């Protein structure tokens, strides 16, 4: 019976011992933390330093993963931002 359960879990990608890839969600604690870090360090600048544009791109990619339902360990593919 154990072999059958393992085979079923392998085929359906579910059950004990199978962890789903991380699934981002818009507004979750990771997105909120990234946004808070960006806002905390950008406040007071007329024009944010270039490195903060990189953080904005990371936050945008995270949100796009969330919006398209793409796990973080998979590329977005050809999705328009």
The token duo for 81 is: 């931002």
Question: Which of residues 71 and 12 earns the better pLDDT score?
Answer: 71
Distance CA 38, CA 48 (A): 10
Average pLDDT rounded to a whole number, residues 61-68: 90
Domain range summary for the chain, segments of one domain joined by +: 22-81
pTM to 2 decimals?
Answer: 0.59
Distance CA 81, CA 68 (A): 11
What would the pLDDT profile of 20-64 be if each residue is shown by its tens digit? Answer: 666 788 888 888 888 888 777 766 667 777 777 888 888 899 889
pLDDT of residue 79: 56
């Amino acid at each position: 019976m154990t072999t059958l359960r393992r085979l079923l879990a392998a085929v359906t990608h579910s059950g004990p011992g199978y962890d789903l890839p991380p699934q981002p969600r818009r507004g979750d604690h990771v997105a909120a933390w990234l946004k808070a870090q960006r806002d905390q360090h950008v406040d007071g600048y007329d024009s944010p330093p270039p490195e903060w544009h990189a953080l904005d791109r990371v936050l945008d990619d995270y949100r796009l993963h969330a919006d398209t339902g793409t796990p973080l360990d998979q590329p977005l593919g050809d999705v328009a931002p």
